[in-house]
Amino acid sequence: MRFSNFGAACVMLAAGSAANAQVIINELVQDPPGADEAWEYIEFYGRPNMDLSGYAIALVKGGRDTDGDNIPEAPAEIDEAFSLDGLTLGANGFLILINDTAGLTDVELFVDPATPIATFTAQHVPTPNDTPGKLGNGDSSTYLLVRARPNYSYAGGMSNYDTGYVFWKDEDPDVDFDGKLDFGIEGGSAAEVDPLQIVDEVAWSNNGGKEYVRSSQQEISETPGFDPDAISRLAYLGANTNAGHRVKSDMTVDATRMADESWVYGEIVVLPADLDESAQYGSDVKGPTDPNGQLYDCPAGPAGEGDCFVSAGGPYLFDDIQLYDAGTLEGFALTPGTFNDNATFGVSQFRWVLADFDFDGDADSDDYALIVSRQGATLDDRIDCIDPDTSNPIIDPSTGNPFQCYEFEGRDLNAIEAMRWMDPTDGVGGENAVEVTAADVAAADAIIPSGRLCADSNEDGFVTPTDFSAWVGHFNSGDLRGDVNQDGAVTPTDFSAWVGAFNLGANGPTCTP
């Protein structure tokens, strides 16, 4: 069996090269047909050879509340938790974590040979009284990829679990069942689960349970008639593109969430019988919105999408891209350890784009403005923890001061990581600096096409009223940075051009110099 034990040393990029540095959950199988353990796995994708020491992943089950009275029939719990200490992503950017707890490891035969494999048993976060098992089925599911946890540290190649550590199997992370991870001050048996630093997250509801993502945008909004067996990422969006629509429980129509437009998810009906086949989704599969699908209109207060009707002039898109062919019985394939590219359905998985810090698919002036604004930032920066319900700081009663949360999580964290690695030799002794440096900014500037935003006259990466004074200075001195209309001269006509560029903000034209 092709299992690997990885050393704690990180395989670094060659000096002087620039590369994105980020990691995400990319695909997972939670409830395969037959013996669960044989095909359960979690796939990660990120910077090739990235050291994942300090990271962990957990499946948090959200309990059960089928009657909606907010009194759980089954409490929330951390179902399984795995440390990624000592692991690195492969040279292809992938890593697979597979369930070996029953000795059934069929999935490893189908993992891309270039992808490292680790096991549930080897990576199980040690608990006082439990062992690794299969991923729980039913009830709500939240997968949290985290970089930092309370009462944990990684140093000298060692994982250190201090007194009070609880991010492990069978812990109730939400004793008051309010849908928020506990700080240990909620009363009763509440333990200190938060503040975590979440790197990536995805969740879906089942049986009225809770979901524990920081943003509801990372919750899959609709699982019609099924609890997904598996999910496969197609996109990693920096913002909601409002590509499609959904009917909410309050009978209003709203945009789909980022998770809806990022994932393929559904039931698995076929596992491979030999190495020439692949696991695949069946007809119960959903995915991103088809931008060329039929247009719909809806009556006031629709109970569901079934109340809406095809209308040539309708404002809504409900249809998904095709992911199953009823004629050939071919479905979207699961691809452990490699990209989800499927020519049959005309879809391909996203790839990282160098210097794309806002994750919109390209590197442009918006990305340059972001890295300029983040110069000096580190992954460990802290801010006051804020209660999303009250917008007030969450107070630690033992100190009287606000708890300190991590400033950068999710896409913001992955953006900082990508920024930090633009110049991997900018630190002491030629190592990568812990903060975003001027050298990182310069490396991004050399890659990002076009020039600065024309209205950004003081070149701070933003278009603000202070740029007008800078433009006046350029105009008075004849500096070509005042040539906003790019006709080769600084003249009074550049004033109106500057005003037009200013009104467009970050969407305005770019200028050189």
Per-residue pLDDT reduced to its tens digit, 484-513: 998 888 999 999 999 999 999 878 888 876
Q: Tell me which residue range forms the domain holding 272.
A: 237-332
In a domain, 86, yes or no: yes
Report the alpha-carbon distance of residue 101 to residue 133 in Å, rounded: 6
Structure tokens at 328: 């050939």
In a domain, 11, yes or no: no
Please give the share of the chain, as a percent, with pLDDT higher than 70.
95
Closest CA to 352 of 46, 12, 13: 46
**pTM of the predicted model as reported, rounded to 2 decimal places:** 0.85
Q: Are residues 166 and 86 in the same domain?
A: yes
pLDDT tens digit sequence for 133-172: 999 998 899 999 999 999 999 999 999 999 999 999 999 9
In a domain, 26, yes or no: yes
- In DSSP terms, 383 is beta-bridged to 405
Read off φ and ψ for residue 60, nearest 5 degrees: -105, 115
**H or E element, residue 502:** helix 493-504
Q: Are residues 205 and 117 in the same domain?
A: yes
In a domain, 411, yes or no: no
pLDDT tens digit sequence for 441-476: 999 988 887 667 889 888 776 788 889 999 999 999
Structure tokens at 209: 């349970």
Provide the b/e sequence for 125-155 (b: ≥16 CB within 10 Å).
bebeeeebbbbbeebbbbbbbbbbbbebebe
Q: Are residues 167 and 40 in the same domain?
A: yes
Q: Are residues 209 and 250 in the same domain?
A: no
In a domain, 455, yes or no: yes
Domain count, the chain: 3
In a domain, 341, yes or no: no
Q: What is the pLDDT of residue 270?
A: 84
User: Residues for the chain: how many in total?
Assistant: 513
What average pLDDT does this structure show over 380-387? Answer: 96
Q: Among 298, 332, 366, which residue terminates a domain?
A: 332
In the predicted structure, residue 84 carries a pLDDT above the cut 80: yes
Rounded (10°) angle between helices 410-420 and 365-373? 90
Q: At CA 262, angle to CA 368 and CA 443, rounded to 5?
A: 20
User: What is the Cα 385 distance to its own chain's centre?
Assistant: 21
Lowest mean pLDDT among 14-18, 37-41, 174-178: 14-18
Closest CA to 382 of 370, 368, 396, 372: 396
Structure tokens at 336: 């452990």
Q: Are residues 161 and 296 in the same domain?
A: no
Q: Are residues 206 and 280 in the same domain?
A: no
* Alpha carbon separation from 96 to 93, 108, 171, 181 (Å, rounded): 11, 9, 25, 27
DSSP label at residue 4: -
